[in-house]
Amino acid sequence: MSNVPKMFGSLVFNDTVMQERLPKATYKALKETRERGKALEPKVADVVANTMKEWALEKGCTHFTHWFQPMTGITAEKHDSFITPIAGGKVLMEFSGKELIKGEPDASSFPSGGLRATFEARGYTAWDPTSDAFIKGNSLCIPTAFCSYGGEALDKKTPLLRSMDAISKQALRVLKLFGNMEAKRVITTVGPEQEYFLIDKAMYEKRKDLVYTGRTLFGAKPPKGQEMEDHYFGVIKPRVAAFMADLNEELWKLGILAKTEHNEVAPSQHELAPLFTTSNVATDHNQLIMEMMKKVATRHGLTCLLHEKPFDGINGSGKHNNWSMSTDSGENLLEPGDSPSQNAQFLLFLAAVIKAVDEHQDLLRISVASAGNDHRLGANEAPPAIISMFLGDELTGILKSIEDGTSYEQKDKVFMEIGSDILPRFPKDTTDRNRTSPFAFTGNKFEFRSVGSTASLACPNMMLNTIVADELEQFADELEKAPDFKAALNKIVKDTIRDHKRIIFNGNNYAPEWVTEAEKRGLLNLRSTVDAMPYYLKKENIDLLKKHGVLTKTEACARYDIELENYYKQINIEALTMLDMIKKDILPAAASYEKDLAETASQKKAMGIGTGFEEDLLKKLSGFSEKLYDDAEKLEADVENTPEEKSTYDIAAYYRNTVFAQMEATRKPADSIEALVGSKYWPYPTYGELLFGVM
């Protein structure tokens, strides 16, 4: 292993490199832009661009690209070379400030939800100087936002950046009320834990479902699944260990603080967690992590599956979004402090989160909705589609005593009233016992566990930041005009607990009783993407996003449309893949085994050996084959009957209620056939081989 400190960030144009290479004045100007969001002067941009280019050329780059995150959910890049022709048939390697700051990719094929049609066909990319440029292959990558010429966001990143400004603005108002005059910015921090599966690449390539859709559309239950739970934190297999070591190196070079990795509960499932950083950088890094996982896996003869539910009956994958707020000097606002005043402040920020999650369950649910994630959230898997919060017994007890006006006693600690006591610290082991909650307090941060493993972190964090910003604004409005700050503060915290405690649930979110209980409490249970998306268009939600400058009405409507379109397109691909596999492989496999069985049965009969098991098996098998054939015919008709003239919502609802439902029915006889046919007839690697095939 090479020298890690030396390797770390070696492919990143980070603060150290800037300080070393930029003229002092340029460095200072850029730093102001990075920290305060000040505009960058064109002259400064030219110097930065030139320095960046020199640095990139030394590292072997020939190209540069504006790297952005369109609404497809993955990253996009268009590579331009540094080459500029000069006299005599020669070239110079050039890169101007203009090229650094603004790009104009031909963007007509990215989803825009109709936004570009009404304005201009083209969009442009703009440098986000708060996210460092980096090198990938032979290209200098410039992280950018992507907008239409009318200024509408066409990407995931822009609204996230806007939401970070919104929450900073409101949180600073609150901090001022507590006497903090130094903080210049409040940043939201994110540390995502990324779950993924690793399977053998040769086996992957034999499965059209995995290749086209990222998940298995068929697969009989293997003799062994995850019931022994012997994989969780188990010894990492050599091939996987080699992959992880290689992945770490790649990530470290990109300045990504990949920190922990371990096996998950399901066989072949693993997790990688980087150290937390600011939301926008964490979002960029997570995209790079996913990309690198796929790339590095290939080098090891493996394939990395990022889908939320690659295997039926086996745990799916998520991306736990650990989230908090902190001042620019590093004070974590969701950590109880060392003084009564800090604790009062903590309780106010906590109240804001509680109120936000309760009032905006719908927006949080929307932010994690996708066809893939429906398999986790809408099915019998934790976390459920119902959004609730886990605070742990101790913190819940303290909140209860605040609400009741009683004192809270535990062990040697007594908590009397807000602003007069030191709160206990909540160590992770007492707060994190509940692994089933969608939104759990873990001592000094919240863990939003509903995010899907393929999802971009931008949308969940944009929503989280916005809804908390809104509550902080309401609190600040009230507190700024209050004659008695302490009394007003007490009232806000008390009222919030009283009015929003229904969102707190410390029990097992997996239990069927919770569904009934949540309904009694009036909590939303939006089981699918189609159920969730219409809430995007609720007037209150559009107003809220608009008020904080995060999304305009047009942008919100476009996003609603794009998400629904992504949803039904995904299911359409799955349905077509299913039909292809049935017709080309599964029915022929069944027929071929049936033929052999029939031949043997009639030979046995002719020889007077009697009818053997062959006849019985043949009967069963042809029953399932007939059923599969009929179901596939129906599925094909359903896909063909897609109501094309209808709204995006209607098409998505049709896919959910008709096509997807028929896919589930169609899978059953196919899985029964798989369980019956001889191994040599079955065309695909089985669940057992896929899940236990990596040594």
Q: Give contact residues for Mg ion (rule: CB under 5 A).
A: 193, 320
Bridge-based pairing state of the strands 389-390 and 439-441? parallel
User: Under a CB-based contact definition with an 8 Å cutoff, are residues 197 and 269 in contact?
Assistant: yes
Closer by beta carbon to Mg ion, 175 or else 455: 455
**Residue 191 lies near ligand ADP (rule: CB under 6 A):** yes
Cα separation, 323 vs 408, whole angstroms:
27
- Contacting ligand ADP (CB under 6 A), which of 317, 324, 342, 367? 324
Q: Provide the minimum distance between the beta carbon of 431 and ligand ADP in the complex, in angstroms, as a whole number.
A: 10
Host H or E run for residue 260:
strand 258-263
Phi, psi dihedral angles at 376 (to 5 degrees): -90, -60
Q: Which does 611 bind (CB under 5 to 8 A by kind): ligand ADP, Mg ion, none?
A: none
Quick one: what does residue 365 bind among Mg ion, ligand ADP, none, with the CB cut-off 5 to 8 Å set by partner type?
Answer: none
Q: Report the partner that residue 445 touches, choosing among Mg ion, ligand ADP, none (CB closer than 5 to 8 A by kind).
A: ligand ADP
With respect to Mg ion, which residue has the nearer C-beta, 193 or 200? 193
Query: CB under 5 to 8 A by kind: which of Mg ion, ligand ADP, none does 143 bind?
Result: none
Residues 358-394 as b/e (b if ≥16 CB within 10 A, e otherwise) read: bbbbbbbbbbbbbbbbbbbbbeebbbbbbbbbbbbeb
Helix (H, G, I), strand (E, B) or coil at 592: helix
Tell me which of ligand ADP, Mg ion, none is bound by residue 632, counting a contact when its beta carbon lies within the kind-specific cut-off of 5 to 8 angstroms: none
Give one DSSP letter per residue of 33-74, joined into a string: HHHH-PPPPHHHHHHHHHHHHHHHHHTT--EEEEEE-BTTSS
103's contact among Mg ion, ligand ADP, none, with CB below 5 to 8 A by partner kind, is: none
Q: C-beta of 532: minimal distance to ligand ADP in Å? A: 25
Residues 6+ apart with CB under 8 A from 623: none
Segment 387 to 446, residues that bind ligand ADP, using CB under 6 A: 444-445
Q: Residues 267-296: x/- map of binding to ligand ADP (CB under 6 A)?
A: ------xxxx--------------------
Question: 382 touches which of ligand ADP, Mg ion, none (CB within 5 to 8 A by kind)?
Answer: none
Alpha carbon separation from 65 to 40, 61, 99, 108, 413 (Å, rounded):
20, 11, 10, 18, 57
Calpha distance 532→79 (Å, rounded): 37
User: Residue 218 or 276: which CB sits closer to ligand ADP?
Assistant: 276
User: What would the x/- binding string for ligand ADP be over residues 604 to 623, using CB under 6 A?
Assistant: --------------------
**508 φ, ψ (degrees, to nearest 5):** -80, 110
Residue 180: contacted member of ligand ADP, Mg ion, none (CB under 5 to 8 Å, by partner type):
none
User: Smallest distance, Å, CB 322 to Mg ion?
Assistant: 7
Q: Quick one: tokens of 205?
A: 């390539």
500: left (phi over 0), alpha (psi -120 to 50) or beta: alpha
Closest residue to bound Mg ion by CB: 320
Min dist. Cβ of residue 285 to ligand ADP (A): 11
Single-letter amino acid code for the residue at 115: L
Contact 370/563 with Cβ under 8 angstroms?
yes
Interhelix angle 458-480/485-500, rounded to 10 degrees, is 140
Segment contacting ligand ADP by CB under 6 A, of 190-198, 216-224, 570-578, 672-680: 190-198
Please report how close the Cβ of residue 454 comes to ligand ADP at its closest, in angstroms.
18
Q: Among 45, 21, 16, which Cα is nearest to 126's?
A: 45
DSSP three-state, residue 179: coil
- C-alpha dihedral, 659 to 663 to 665 to 671, nearest 10°: 170
Which residues, 148 to 187, sit near ligand ADP by CB under 6 A? Answer: none
Per-residue contact flags (x/-) with ligand ADP for residues 100 to 129, judged by CB under 6 A:
------------------------------
Closer residue to Mg ion (CB): 421 or 447: 447
∠ CA 65-69-71, rounded to 5°: 140
Taking the complex as a whole, the smallest distance from the CB of residue 139 to Mg ion amounts, in Å, to 33
Please check whether residue 8 is in contact with residue 256, taking contact to mean a CB–CB distance below 8 angstroms: no
Q: Mask 231-260, x = binds ligand ADP (CB under 6 A)?
A: -----------------------------x
* DSSP reduced 3-state for 104: coil
Under rule CB under 6 A, how many of the chain's residues touch ligand ADP?
Answer: 16
| Stretch near ligand ADP under the rule CB under 6 A, chosen from 196-204, 322-330, 465-473, 665-673 | 322-330
| Among 69, 158, 163, 322, interactor with ligand ADP by CB under 6 A | 322
Q: Are 102 and 124 in contact (CB under 8 A)?
A: yes
Q: What share of the chain is helix, strand, coil (3-state, %, to 5)?
A: 50, 15, 35
Whichever of 284 and 561 has its CB closer to ligand ADP, that residue is 284
Choose between 354 and 677: whose C-beta lies nearer to ligand ADP: 354
Report cis status (omega within 30 of 0) of the bond before 383: yes
Binding at 260: pick from Mg ion, ligand ADP, none (beta carbon under 5-8 Å per type) = ligand ADP
The residue sitting closest to ligand ADP, measured at its beta carbon, is 191
Please, what is the minimum distance in Å from the beta carbon of residue 282 to ligand ADP? 8
Q: How far is the CB of 324 from ligand ADP (least distance, A)?
A: 4
Rule CB under 6 A: choose which of 44, 190, 544, 601 binds ligand ADP: 190
Decide whether 200 or 271 has the Cβ nearer to Mg ion.
271
Nearer to ligand ADP, 262 or 569 (CB): 262
To the nearest whole angstrom, how small is the minimum distance from the Cβ of residue 30 to ligand ADP?
26
Helices 157-177 and 279-299 cross at an angle (nearest 10°) of 140
Residue 235 buriedness (CB in 10 A; 0-12 / 13-18 / 19+): exposed
Minimum distance of Mg ion from residue 515's CB (angstroms): 24
Choosing from 10, 72, 332, 642, the residue that interacts with ligand ADP (CB under 6 A) is 332
> Whose Cβ is closer to Mg ion: residue 215's or residue 449's?
449
Minimum Å distance from CB 450 to ligand ADP? 14
The entry of Mg ion, ligand ADP, none that residue 332 binds, CB within 5 to 8 Å by partner kind: ligand ADP
Please say whether the beta carbons of 279 and 200 come within 8 A.
no
| Cα gap 478→488, rounded to integer Å | 8
Which residues contact ligand ADP by CB under 6 A? Answer: 189-191, 193, 260, 273-276, 320, 322-324, 332, 444-445
